[in-house]
Amino acid sequence: MTEEQLTTPQVGSKLRHQILRMPAAVKEATGISIYGRVIRSLIFSTDLAIIKNCDADAVFAVYPFTPQQAISRAIIEAADVPVFCGCGGGTTKGVRTVSLAKDVESQGALAVVLNAPITNLNLRTVTQNIDIPTVITVVSPDTDIDARIRNGAAMINVAGGKNTAAIVAKIRQNHPNLPIIASGGKTEESIQETIKAGANAITYTPPTSAELFSSMMDTYRDPAVKQKLGISIPRRIQNNLKKHLHK
């Protein structure tokens, strides 16, 4: 087959053509197969508008507040892709963490995410009470990965800031087959560095809705764009709009 025949066909719509696309470098990751679904990119967001208008393979729904079932339910119901749900591990811990994990599993989450401070005992209790994978967050190169695995961690999520790639490389050296998710940073170069270090999937923090809207409004202010948008509206619809405006 020719290169042209191997190109992936693109299908879209007239309105949903300006979706937020994941950085191209993410495609270089091997991905993690979960129940037969390959996950390479995870959008790190709880903004439903962004979640509904992006091409990420999954949602990484972790946020800086105590987890709440109403939030996880809304995200899972709105998302078109699988959701990894944060269930605490820091301030929220113990029996409540177990209950939250069981709740998000019943809501349809693909995996649960636990914060770095969680104890191995709490981690083991969570994994024994759910049937979906447990992701444990790692922020330090000194973390005892073997202990995390023994207590049920199915995947590691590395969130070490500027040290992320180095932490990934250290973990990968000792655990060649361990599924590793990692934050890739803002640039193609930093994402590639993290993937080369051994990350199988990348979490991507998108621009805020305000930042995206600002760029859109700059475009709308362009006279040429405004004229084009006006011309693109069929005459019948323009007339209907005028009728409604004059009512």
pTM of the model: 0.84
Instruction: Kindly state the greatest CA–CA separation across the chain.
Output: 71
Give the residue from 116, 123, 119 showing the smallest Cα distance to 140. 116
Reading the chain (247 residues) residue by residue, the pLDDT tens digits are 555 557 878 887 777 767 889 999 999 999 999 999 999 999 999 999 999 999 999 999 999 999 999 999 999 999 999 999 999 998 898 999 999 999 999 999 999 999 999 999 999 999 999 999 999 999 999 999 999 999 999 999 999 999 999 999 999 999 999 999 999 988 999 999 999 999 999 999 998 878 777 766 666 666 565 555 554 545 555 555 555 555 4
The count of residues in the chain is: 247
CA distance 87 to 80: 21
Residue 28 exposed, middle or buried by CB count within 10 Å (0-12, 13-18, 19+): middle
Q: CA 217, 218, 224, 225 torsion: positive or negative?
A: negative
Which of these, 157, 168, 88, lies nearest to 126 by C-alpha position?
A: 88
CATH 3.20.20.60 residue ranges for the chain: 16-206
Tell me which fold the domain 16-206 belongs to: TIM Barrel (3.20.20)
Closest CA to 29 of 178, 139, 180: 180
180-183 and 201-204 beta bridge pairing: parallel
One-letter amino acid for residue 95 of the chain: V
